[in-house]
């Protein structure tokens, strides 16, 4: 195949490739711990507030009429504090969603080019086989240091089979490390 045909095929593949959800899933995966921390903190703080509201109601009181002095000198009721906490939780969720959207937007062009490149290199086989077999996730390349895709991809699987056949499955020497993770081995990325 001539160079011009290869370039034309690459350009056509880049145009034809649909954006992979891999960038979005990677970005969402990175946001997961933040979402979990916000949720855990809110649950931790809501417990005593809900318990206080229940106790006030249990004794015939109206929690909406009992004010607690806040640090800023104003008075807040427990229902007001609860509502404010839920509003802050929603705002934190929106900030995380915006960060995920920004991350996905930033990785999308790179993922599209990578998907097109894999499609060209495999002669279209990547479109026929199950997605995880030949997919190379840009997030794994740039941020996790795995240039051949995640652990479920066919290249890491075959690599481990070959190392096992050579008796190097449990070896952690330089050569085996180079085969398993060239970027970290060469550049010391962690």
The pLDDT, as a whole number, for residue 13 is 38
Tokens of 178: 């180079």
Q: Are residues 130 and 156 located together in one domain of the fold?
A: no
Single pTM value for the model: 0.53
Looking at the structure, tell me whether residues 121 and 182 fall in a common domain: no
Alpha helices for the chain (secondary structure H): 3-16, 22-58, 78-121, 125-128, 131-134, 138-142, 154-165, 174-180, 182-187
> Are residues 121 and 59 located together in one domain of the fold?
yes
Nearest alpha-carbon partner for 100 in 28, 37, 38: 28
- Which residues have a Cβ under 8 Å from the Cβ of 126 and sit 6 or more positions away? 115, 118, 119, 133, 134, 135
Pairing of strands 67-69, 75-77: antiparallel
Q: Are residues 132 and 56 in the same domain?
A: yes
Per-residue pLDDT, 55? 93
Domain that holds residue 82: 3-144
Query: What are the tokens at 179?
Result: 């085969």
pLDDT in tens, the chain (190 residues): 444 443 444 443 333 333 345 556 777 877 888 889 999 999 999 999 999 999 999 999 999 998 888 888 899 999 999 999 999 999 998 998 888 888 778 777 777 777 777 777 777 777 777 766 666 666 666 555 555 555 566 566 666 777 777 777 788 777 777 777 766 676 665 4
pLDDT of residue 154: 58
Return the sign of the alpha-carbon dihedral for residues 46, 48, 51, 56: negative
In this structure, are 9 and 31 located in the same domain?
yes
**Within this chain, do residues 25 and 105 fall inside the same structural domain, yes or no?**
yes
Domain count along the chain: 2
Q: Does the CA dihedral 55-59-64-68 come out positive or negative?
A: negative
Q: Please tell me whether residues 116 and 36 are part of one structural domain.
A: yes
Residue 93's φ and ψ, nearest 5 degrees, are -60, -40
């Amino acid at each position: 195949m001539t160079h011009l045909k290869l370039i034309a095929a690459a350009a056509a593949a880049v145009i034809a490739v649909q954006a992979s959800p891999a960038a979005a899933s990677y970005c969402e995966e990175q946001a997961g711990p933040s979402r979990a921390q916000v949720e855990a903190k809110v649950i931790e703080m809501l417990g005593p507030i809900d318990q206080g509201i229940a106790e006030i109601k249990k004794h015939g009181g109206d929690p909406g009429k009992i004010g607690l002095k806040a640090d800023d000198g104003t008075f807040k009721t427990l229902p007001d504090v609860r509502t404010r906490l839920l509003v802050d939780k929603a705002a934190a969720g929106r900030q995380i969603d915006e960060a995920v959207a920004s991350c996905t937007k930033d990785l999308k062009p790179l993922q599209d080019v990578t998907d097109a490149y894999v499609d060209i290199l495999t002669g279209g086989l990547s479109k026929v086989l199950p997605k995880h077999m030949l997919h190379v996730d840009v997030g794994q390349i740039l941020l996790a240091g795995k240039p051949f895709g995640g652990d479920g991809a066919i290249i890491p699987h075959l690599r481990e089979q070959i190392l096992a056949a050579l008796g190097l499955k449990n070896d952690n020497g330089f050569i085996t490390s180079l085969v398993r993770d060239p970027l970290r081995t060469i550049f010391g990325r962690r």
